[in-house]
């Protein structure tokens, strides 16, 4: 597969002019949102086109589409960027878009620890390599039974992890979101055990479907979607795809994620999309595709491994998936 | 207060209580309910039923504490609005979640405890709404009517559990509602005890 190389300028070196120009609009809307929210109603339309259109000439517009692409209707940019579970910026789906507007994503350091030859502090810029970048159009299935189809921009996680030279004891990879309550107001309350933590088995992490995301819709990744760097594991429930990653740790033992700590009987380590294993409180057999399954269509059937069984089912052969949920 | 003024006031309250539903319909038709309008409608109708339940239960304490006896004239309407928003909430559930497939819906009511709780609350609201007319009040007789309508003190318990069991994290709002309901119900106990 060919990856087009647009130029020698690193994406990170370009100022996102559109975001800059929209700054005042963001602030204005953040004010409006706060006013409406405090009025208690949340009934007035808070959406506005201005802040939810991407730059058609986004910094990743020339990145070629990679393999595993799904041939399904894309969820609109507006929906992808205004309906977010990102509890660090509020537990209401519409909140992160406003409350993360001022989140500082540069400079961004990633701490690498544990069972590897090259631990240390890395700069985000070390990984924004033009020849790594691909567009991947993936299904995204939330544990809350809604789904999207998103054109992510990113690179295979294995390319990044190999640079740290994990040793033979590295059986798992643990990820942590930035912990900074000053910037992430949601962390001021113990909604979850902060910092948000997730983990993958090393073979899951090295799988070519697993990517690190830095953009979407050919543009830079919006803060509410987990800027500047987030995971995307398309065959697992959305909460596994941790946002705003600040730490990567190679471990011998399976990491315990924030959701596992919060409700061990409800969220397991694997959390593979599985229509046959219900969440203890609701069914996972069907899902609502945002922008498509609305008032006049039934929820669609959820696919095993979110439709990526051909690629990943072998990772779990011989395992009882109702036990290892 | 004159009967005419009260009728006018009732009209105003009636319209005001309808505004959330009107806005919800309007925003649904103009596609202003965000990425998941179906979820938004389900959440909003449920939340408004909950808010009207708080208001209905607040009438008696407010009346007794501040001597605002006129409030009693609005209690029935507020109670019926609980039922109205609960009906919309239930409609959203059978329409959006199950697309009117009754057997699927029944399975859900039985299998999912949080839905069971919501369903029980809804069922308990039914006899209260049905016996809310003057005619029914007379037919039942004041005492029996009152006994039946004590159900309203039980409903908050089921409603709060329904809300709580549906959540993944962030229990702040359900905590606030629990506190408010507790105050409203405990005040009644205290009032009864101290006025014996």
To the nearest whole Å, the CA of A14 is away from the closest chain B CA by 30
Would you place residue A32 in the very low, low, confident or very high pLDDT band (cuts 50, 70, 90)? very low
Q: Which of B23, B113, B170 sits opposite A43 (nearest CB)?
A: B23
Would you place residue B2 in the very low, low, confident or very high pLDDT band (cuts 50, 70, 90)? confident
A263 chain-B contacts, CB cut-off 8 A:
168
Domain that includes residue A97, residue range: 15-316
Would you place residue A298 in the very low, low, confident or very high pLDDT band (cuts 50, 70, 90)? confident
Within chain B, residue ranges assigned H as helices are 3-29, 37-66, 72-92, 102-111, 113-130, 134-140, 142-149, 155-164, 172-194
Average pLDDT over every residue of A43-55: 57
Considering only A37-41, A187-191, A292-296, B120-124, which range has the smallest mean pLDDT? Answer: A37-41
Is the pLDDT confidence value at A8 over 60? no
pLDDT confidence of residue A3: 53
Q: Is B176 left (phi over 0), alpha (psi -120 to 50) or beta?
A: alpha
Give me the residues of A, 137-166, that contact B with CB < 8 A: 144, 146
pLDDT confidence of residue B195: 83
Would you place residue A135 in the very low, low, confident or very high pLDDT band (cuts 50, 70, 90)? very high
Phi then psi for A43, rounded to 5 degrees? -95, -25
B100 chain-A contacts, CB cut-off 8 A:
none
Q: With contact defined as beta carbons under 8 Å apart, do A306 and A234 qualify?
A: yes
To the nearest whole Å, the CA of B46 is away from the closest chain A CA by 13
Is the pLDDT confidence value at A12 over 70? no
Give me the residues of A, 269-298, that contact B with CB < 8 A: 281-283, 288, 290-291, 294-295, 298
Cross-chain residue pair B34–A283, CB shorter than 8 Å: no
Report chain B's mean pLDDT, rounded to a whole number: 95
Cross-chain residue pair B23–A44, CB shorter than 8 Å: yes
Q: Which residue of A has its CA nearest to B173?
A: A91
Q: Which residue of B has its CA nearest to A147?
A: B36
Q: Which tens digits make up the pLDDT trace of A213-235? A: 999 999 999 999 999 999 999 99
Cross-chain residue pair A93–B38, CB shorter than 8 Å: no
Is the pLDDT confidence value at B63 over 50? yes
Q: Which comes out higher in pLDDT, residue B1 or A161?
A: A161
Which residues are registered as beta bridge partners of A231? A212
Is A245 within the bounds of a domain? yes
Would you place residue B104 in the very low, low, confident or very high pLDDT band (cuts 50, 70, 90)? confident
Would you place residue A9 in the very low, low, confident or very high pLDDT band (cuts 50, 70, 90)? low
Average pLDDT over every residue of B113-127: 97
Is A6 within the bounds of a domain? no
Cβ of B54: how many Cβ atoms within 10 Å?
A: 15
Would you place residue A51 in the very low, low, confident or very high pLDDT band (cuts 50, 70, 90)? low
Average pLDDT over every residue of B146-171: 95
Would you place residue A10 in the very low, low, confident or very high pLDDT band (cuts 50, 70, 90)? low
Would you place residue A112 in the very low, low, confident or very high pLDDT band (cuts 50, 70, 90)? very high
What is the C-alpha to C-alpha distance for residues A80 and A289, in angstroms, rounded to an integer?
12
Task: Give the domain CATH number at A196.
Answer: 3.90.420.10
Average pLDDT over every residue of A50-60: 78
List of residues 6+ apart from B1 with CB closer than 8 A: B70
A294 chain-B contacts, CB cut-off 8 A:
37-38
Phi then psi for A238, rounded to 5 degrees? -50, -35
Cβ of A194: how many Cβ atoms within 10 Å?
A: 21
Is A322 an interface residue toward B (CB < 8 Å)?
Answer: no
DSSP state of A279: B
What is the C-alpha to C-alpha distance for residues A195 and A178, in angstroms, rounded to an integer?
7
Cross-chain residue pair B36–A83, CB shorter than 8 Å: yes
Q: Which of A91, A94, A295 sits opposite B38 (nearest CB)?
A: A295
Is A28 within the bounds of a domain? yes
Percent of chain A scored above 90 by pLDDT? 80
Would you place residue A57 in the very low, low, confident or very high pLDDT band (cuts 50, 70, 90)? confident
Q: Which tens digits make up the pLDDT trace of A138-185? A: 999 999 999 999 999 999 999 999 999 999 999 999 999 999 999 999
pLDDT confidence of residue B60: 96
What's the total number of domains in chain A?
1
Mutate: best of A29, A40, A43, partner B, most B CBs <10 A: A43
Q: With contact defined as beta carbons under 8 Å apart, do A290 and A154 qualify?
A: no
Cross-chain residue pair A91–B169, CB shorter than 8 Å: yes
Is A2 within the bounds of a domain? no
Average pLDDT over every residue of B77-102: 95
Would you place residue A130 in the very low, low, confident or very high pLDDT band (cuts 50, 70, 90)? confident
Which residues are registered as beta bridge partners of A198? A175
Is the pLDDT confidence value at A84 over 70? yes
Cross-chain residue pair B172–A82, CB shorter than 8 Å: no
Q: Is A100 strand, coil or helix? A: coil
Is A321 within the bounds of a domain? no
List of residues 6+ apart from A231 with CB closer than 8 A: A157, A175, A198, A210, A211, A212, A213, A240, A241, A242, A243, A245
Is the pLDDT confidence value at A37 over 80? no
Mutate: best of B24, B32, B35, partner A, most A CBs <10 A: B35
Reported as type and span, the H/E element at residue A248 is strand A245-251
**Does residue A102 have a cis peptide bond before it, meaning omega lies within 30 degrees of 0?**
no
Is A47 an interface residue toward B (CB < 8 Å)?
Answer: yes
A283 chain-B contacts, CB cut-off 8 A:
108, 112
Mutate: best of B36, B104, B118, B166, partner A, most A CBs <10 A: B36
List of residues 6+ apart from A271 with CB closer than 8 A: A143, A236, A237, A239, A240, A259, A325
pLDDT confidence of residue A214: 97
């Amino acid at each position: 597969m060919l990856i087009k190389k647009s130029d020698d300028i690193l994406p990170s070196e370009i100022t996102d002019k559109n975001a800059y120009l929209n700054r005042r609009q963001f602030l204005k809307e953040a004010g409006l949102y706060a006013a409406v929210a405090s009025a208690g109603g949340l009934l007035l339309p808070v959406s506005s086109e201005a802040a939810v259109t991407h730059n058609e000439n986004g910094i990743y517009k020339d990145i070629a589409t990679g393999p595993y692409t799904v041939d399904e209707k894309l969820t609109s940019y507006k929906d992808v960027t205004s309906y977010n579970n990102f509890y660090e910026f509020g537990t209401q789906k519409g909140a992160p878009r406003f409350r993360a507007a001022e989140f500082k994503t540069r400079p961004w350091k990633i701490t690498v620890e544990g069972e590897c030859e090259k631990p240390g502090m890395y700069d985000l810029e070390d990984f924004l390599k033009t020849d790594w970048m691909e567009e991947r159009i993936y299904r995204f299935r939330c544990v809350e039974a809604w789904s999207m189809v998103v054109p992510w921009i990113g690179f295979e996680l294995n390319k990044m992890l190999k640079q740290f030279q994990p040793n033979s004891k590295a059986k798992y990879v643990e990820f942590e979101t930035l912990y900074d309550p000053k910037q992430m107001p949601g962390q001021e309350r113990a909604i979850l055990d902060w910092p948000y933590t997730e983990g993958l088995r090393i073979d899951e992490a090295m799988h070519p479907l697993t990517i690190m995301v830095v953009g979407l819709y050919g543009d830079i990744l919006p803060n509410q979607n987990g800027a500047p760097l987030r995971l995307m594991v398309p065959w697992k429930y959305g909460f596994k795809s941790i946002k705003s990653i600040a730490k990567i740790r190679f471990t011998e033992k399976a990491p315990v994620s924030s959701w596992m700590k919060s409700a061990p009987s409800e969220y397991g380590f694997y959390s593979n999309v599985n229509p046959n294993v219900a969440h203890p409180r609701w069914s996972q057999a069907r899902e609502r595709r945002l922008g498509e399954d609305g008032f006049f269509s039934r929820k669609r059937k959820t696919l095993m491994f979110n439709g990526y069984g051909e690629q990943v089912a072998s990772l779990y052969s011989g395992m009882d998936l109702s036990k290892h949920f | 207060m004159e009967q005419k003024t009260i009728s006018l006031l009732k009209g105003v309250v009636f319209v005001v209580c309808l505004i959330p539903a009107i806005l919800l319909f309007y925003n649904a038709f103009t596609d202003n309910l965000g990425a998941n309008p179906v979820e938004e409608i389900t959440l909003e109708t449920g939340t408004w039923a909950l808010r009207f339940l708080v208001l209905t239960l607040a009438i008696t304490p407010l009346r007794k504490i501040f001597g605002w006896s006129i409030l009693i004239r609005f209690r029935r309407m507020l109670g019926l609005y609980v039922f109205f928003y609960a009906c919309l909430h239930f409609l959203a559930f059978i329409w959006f979640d199950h697309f009117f497939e009754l057997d699927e819906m029944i399975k859900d009511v039985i299998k999912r405890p949080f839905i069971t709780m919501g369903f029980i609350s809804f069922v308990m609201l039914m006899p209260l709404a049905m016996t809310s007319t003057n005619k029914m009040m007379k037919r039942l007789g004041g005492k029996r009517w009152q006994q039946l309508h004590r159900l309203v003190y039980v409903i908050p318990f089921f409603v709060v559990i329904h809300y709580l069991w549906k959540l993944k994290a962030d229990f702040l709002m359900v905590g606030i509602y629990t506190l408010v309901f507790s105050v409203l119900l405990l005040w009644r106990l205290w009032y009864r005890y101290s006025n014996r």
